[in-house]
Amino acid sequence: MRHKLHALSAVVLTSLVFGLAGCGNDAKPAASAAASAEQPASAVASAAAPAAPASQAAAVRNEMIKPIPVAEVKDPAMVELGKQLFFDPRLSRSGGMSCNSCHNLSMGGSDNLAASIGDRWQKGGINSPTVLNSSLNIAQFWDGRAKDLKEQAGGPIANPAEMAFTHDLAVAMLETIPGYKAEFSKVFKKDKIDIDQVTTALAAFEETLVTPNSRFDKWLLGEDAALTTDELKGYELFKSAGCVACHNGPNVGGASFQKMGVVEPYKTAHTAQGRMDVTKSDQDRFLFKVPTLRNVELTYPYFHDGAAMTLTDAVDTMGKLQLGRTFTPEENGQIVAFLKTLTGDQPKFELPQLPVSSDSTPRPDPFAK
């Protein structure tokens, strides 16, 4: 089996050139993308997601996808605080929305909606990406406008179409809650809570939301029986067709910005311009952060506009638009079968109990004029 896969590698490297053409990133030369994909997990993962231990790394198959490293919890009290904040709707103007509303940890860290429901039922601007394994991404948001989870975490709280609060009001609210005061003080050793502490704690919790032990990772770590013949065929096709050129590394994506619609333009009524909205460079038009394929079975619908309702649809569209290839139903089914092996252990924890408000905690009115 090993021998066969090594032989396959040659095919992959050949097809990679084609693959990269079909998944082109005008901003990065093909060679560097291929090289970074071949780097060990630690190179792509954030500092918070440690590389696999050496003994494990030695056993990893030589593939462009790397196993998800187990999360290392450095500060349990900070992670616990971040978890409470993640579930706390008092961080929203209405008092009715939390991070977990759109990044639901019961549903793959997503809301399974094409567009999320924001404050006053506003339609979300872009499909909510999963929070799972997001620490492994090169940047946050589809357009990468936040460099890390800490920077991301402040976004939705203050976005008028999302949680619609302000950082000042959120911090002032937290200051009135004795339970939070005690926790922040213990974790950050400061007299006052500030938004930096809030986003630091949220990021610390989110960094624990990795999903190791998928069947595919077991296979990567040498367990031949972890995949069925069809799933393995799907993976071989995923490589030979060129999908792996963009969807690689431990997060099977998340490592680069790529154009949506290479061989054919992507038809959508959605107005997002992707990376260009950040860089203002026309070269970056329709470049989006490659979404992770980890737990992809759980995170439907797909694409930045949420237009692909099923994995079958998504694989079909990606094949045509990015690779100029029409997969047969059998091929599509094999790739989908492979993709479903990327579902790992979901985060396990007790539903947090939130510190109780005091009499001076503002009482939000979702219906205020």
Annotated binding site: 99, 102-103, 243, 246-247, 318
Three-class secondary structure of residue 140 per DSSP: strand
Q: Which is nearer to its own copies, 118 or 249 (CB)?
A: 118
**Which residue ranges make up the annotated binding site for heme c?**
99, 102-103, 243, 246-247, 318
Q: CA 218 to CA 187: how far, in whole Å?
A: 36
Residues that bind its own copies (CB under 8 A): 87-90, 94-96, 101, 104-108, 111-117, 120-121, 123, 297-298, 300-301, 309-312, 346-354, 356-357, 359, 363-367
Cβ at position 309, least distance to its own copies in Å: 5
Cβ at position 334, least distance to its own copies in Å: 16
Contact 237, 339 (CB under 8 A): no
- Residues carrying an active site annotation: 162
Provide the CA 111 distance to its chain's centre, in angstroms: 13
Residue closest to 129 by CA, chosen among 295, 271, 285: 295
**Would you state the structure tokens that stand for residue 100, as one six-digit string?**
């977990």
Cβ at position 156, least distance to its own copies in Å: 15
Instruction: List, in order, residues 6 or more apart from 178 with CB less than 8 Å away.
Output: 355, 358
Q: Count Cβ atoms below 10 Å from residue 353 Cβ, excluding itself.
A: 9
User: Nearest-5° angle of CA 127, CA 214, CA 211?
Assistant: 55
Cβ at position 167, least distance to its own copies in Å: 21
CB burial readout 217-230, b (16+ within 10 A) else e: bbbbbeeeebbeee
* Long-range interactions of 116-120: CB distance < 8 A, separation 24+: 116/162, 118/159, 118/161, 118/162, 118/163, 118/164, 119/92, 119/93, 119/94, 119/160, 119/161, 119/162, 119/163, 119/164, 120/94, 120/164, 120/366
Q: CA 243 to CA 239: how far, in whole Å?
A: 6
Cβ at position 105, least distance to its own copies in Å: 6
Q: Which is nearer to its own copies, 56 or 357 (CB)?
A: 357
Q: Which is nearer to its own copies, 110 or 251 (CB)?
A: 110
